[in-house]
Amino acid sequence: AAGKRKRAALAPGKAKRPRSGPGAGEAEAAPSGTAQGSGIPQEHGIPQEYRIPPPVSQGKWKNKERVLIFSSRGINFRTRHLMQDLRTLMPHSKADTKMDRKDQLFVINEVCEMKNCNKCIFFEAKKKQDLYMWLSNTPQGPSAKFLVQNVHTLAELKMTGNCLRGSRPLLSFDPIFDKEPHYALLKELFIQVFSTPRYHPKSQPFVDHVFTFTVTDERIWFRNYQIIEEDASLVEIGPRFVLNLIKIFQGSFGGPTLYENPHYQSPNMHRRLIRLSVAAKFREKQHVKEVQKEKKKASKVLVKEDPTEVVFETPAEEKPVEIQLVKPESKPIVKDKKKLRKIQRKKQKKLFRTEA
């Protein structure tokens, strides 16, 4: 027994993991002469060295939801920043290169399978001005297509709020999501896409911000708020955008249509109506001008001549016609104005003398 070596004490900061058995949570009794569960020798009941035990693992990562966030080619800078903001807010997301416009949408299912993702947020740009967003549960479905409007990113808003990177959000939904069946389906899709899985390796064990989904004007308004601990008030962080639902499909990026929004108006139709309204205003102005011209013409009514109008007119005396046979004297051309005035004065004096 004297030749046996004593077991070395554990280094500070290194502790054994608890067993997975039923008695793992029970503390074992410390041997005599050592600190409770530390293996450090004691002298008269006072430990020679203290150590802080490492944090115990809270649980196992079971909900392995992964979201692929990427876009097609042709997006503008605001869409790119919005996509980057969503990746920052969702630690369970993955990125991929832009997809070519010529590729079909069902190819995204294979991309998600290669990236080991079961959810997808795909931004589709058309005409370099219209932005569509697909939310899909790959590869079985369902999927929803939205028109994205009123996009404002984190850098653009410059809000005063802030939250921890990688923290888990609370999801707040409007009561309408529980009344309509298509909104109930969208609610479940939003929960699975935007909620960060518990015990995710890249997430933080804090809840300090809220994602709100509000239905107003037949559209879904997305907002992100920070929870302030002092008074539990909310401060907006961003980003913010509005989703206008177009269709809900049974499959992933296609399939039979489950719901079609009757209030949806395409951007092309909206721009066409704006052009028609401008053209109608122009035509109305032209019509008003033509009516005014006709009124002016109609107001000039020819009045018949009055026979009594010439009664009090007296005929003027006829002047005799004089024929001038002698050429008139040419006036002297004087460039100097002073000389001209002197000549005129001399003529006036001569006339005055002859009259006198």
- Domain assignments of the chain as residue spans, ordered by start: 67-269
Q: Which DSSP state fits 2?
A: -
How many CA atoms does the CB half-sphere of 268 hold within 13 Å? 3
Q: Is the pLDDT of residue 181 over 90?
A: yes
The pLDDT of 94-119, averaged and rounded, is 90
User: Closest Cα partner for 72 from 107, 98, 94, 97?
Assistant: 98
Give me the pLDDT at residue 84, please: 93
Architecture category of domain 67-269 in CATH? 3-Layer(aba) Sandwich (3.40)
Q: Is the pLDDT of residue 334 over 70?
A: no
Query: How do residues 187-218 score in pLDDT, each as one tens digit?
Result: 999 999 999 988 888 888 888 899 999 999 99
What's the CA gap between 126 and 74, in Å, rounded?
7
User: Closest Cα partner for 212 from 252, 162, 169?
Assistant: 169
- pTM across the whole model: 0.64
Q: Is the pLDDT of residue 55 over 60?
A: no
Q: Write down the residue that tokens 């979201």 correspond to.
A: 67
Give me the pLDDT at residue 54, please: 56
What's the CA gap between 92 and 109, in Å, rounded?
18
Higher pLDDT, 333 or 187: 187
Query: How do residues 218-274 score in pLDDT, each as one tens digit?
Result: 999 999 999 988 788 888 988 999 999 999 999 999 899 999 999 999 999 999 999
What's the CA gap between 195 and 30, in Å, rounded?
44
Query: How do residues 2-53 score in pLDDT, each as one tens digit?
Result: 445 445 444 554 555 555 444 444 444 444 444 444 444 455 555 556 676 6
Report the chain's mean pLDDT, rounded to a whole number. Answer: 82
